[in-house]
Chains A and B, each alone.
Chain A
């Protein structure tokens, strides 16, 4: 039996009076892309620093590749790749020098690892003489990933690699991760962007140092428990407020061009909720309304787990 790539049990980390991690337990299987999804301040960076042996937990324990992150930290470091959220390369060294440096630290060279890093480094190699500090955000990200990979780690920890990155570049970055996964690498990644959950094999939803739930991204919807309807109509600015006055409304939140309305009742066909909502809006004089049942996405689930329908 293959042991899990990561196993954490009751991890707690406090900074003064603030509890950054409040008892996290989870398992990451070898070969999967595992995402920690949650807003800034959820504890993602603290968790990644513990898993990469850079920070000691106050309570609990974690094993990465079967090694204890506290007791076996020295053996672990060479087998783990880490890309911190903040740009952490040498800004005054060139692109090529940064990569050679990180390779040399682990006793290898970029040339020896060309098969692994080539597809990523190849995209920025023409800038090899440019100072790393002078690269654009997208290129910095690719260089940082190349440096995190150059010693051929067995597991990769990427802390918010796509924060502040535009929607298209984010998509392309996830394409790169999918290719690395096909080569057998285990990837643990954090992100505040809920839509990136679909690119992971499994995700943990995190908030305030706690895990709200762990599952395959497509499996969360089944836990939702309430009928969910997407409502589209004129005057989108005021539609949520109108919908919140419906007696069966649990919550109403804008999602792009629609409003996601959750029915308070549980044992009910979503199609019936849709019918009743149309009737309700008609009684309020709101015309040209479309309401259709939908499957809850990660963001719907996250909102429900966070605040159970709190409205401002």
Chain B
């Protein structure tokens, strides 16, 4: 069976600037893959290419077996996407969001209804089905957004900083949802600025200036670089020659 995601020499230039510089990697089906990097390292550009929103300048990539050049429609049907910034329509009710996304994903009404009811009961949100999304707590909103992004049972979930600003308990419950999806065979491609979350991934890559600076399981990387944590590795890769740290408040 083909990989969930495969990129070979994937490149994107904007004028003179090379945002993504010939990256190659494979994500296996059912894997939780952490896609890390500093701001401006090219993560967002890479994700836009992999989700069929932006055409590459060079290289090749397949997502769920579909070519990112010609088969963007098929890619969009095979993936779910959520981010901290955009997920649900806040001015619609919970149930309306489920119906709307079910419709966008092309699901039949009966399926939307059945999966929607199951989703609400899994989240314990039946009581809030007719509330506006804006009125439910952020933690619930993020869990709901995750479930809605999975409504069409996509092969691959792209999660762009899904836990930003979320409280520490909900953040961990969110990762348990990710694990459940992965246990069910869904591939999860996730970005985060929380370095402890890097440890929750099966494998991670760290992008530096458009290239993949390191890739492997968290444990392999810690051992290969002789660092106690992914946080330290991140610092070392992103600032290879750090200036001496100025005074730190106690």
Contact = CB atoms under 8 A, between A and B. Distances in A.
Contact of A40 (B165, B193, B231): B165
Interface string A179-210: 10110000000001110000111000001000
Contacts of B231: 167
Contacts of B199: 256-257
Contacts of B234: 166-168
Given A167-B234, A167-B235, A168-B235, A306 B168 contact: yes
Interface in B152-207: 161, 164-170, 172-173, 175-176, 179, 183, 193-196, 199-200
B245 interface: yes
B229 A256 contact: yes
A237 interface: yes
A255 B167 contact: no
A192 B248 contact: no
B15 interface: no
Contacts of B229: 256
Interface string A35-78: 00011110000000000000000000000000000000000000
Nearest to B166: A39
Contact of A255 (B170, B196, B248): B196
A38 B165 CA distance: 8
B38 interface: yes
B70 interface: no
Interface residues of A, number: 47
A138 B39 contact: yes
A40 B162 CA distance: 13
B224 interface: no
Contact of B238 (A40, A166, A178): A166
Nearest to A238: B179
A307 B138 contact: no
Interface of A: 33, 38-41, 136-138, 163-171, 174-179, 181-182, 192-194, 199-201, 207, 236-237, 240, 253-257, 299, 302-303, 306-307, 310, 312
24 contacts: A33-B249, A39-B139, A40-B166, A138-B39, A163-B164, A164-B164, A165-B39, A166-B37, A166-B38, A166-B234, A166-B238, A168-B235, A168-B238, A168-B239, A169-B39, A174-B248, A178-B247, A178-B249, A179-B247, A181-B249, A192-B165, A201-B249, A256-B199, A299-B168
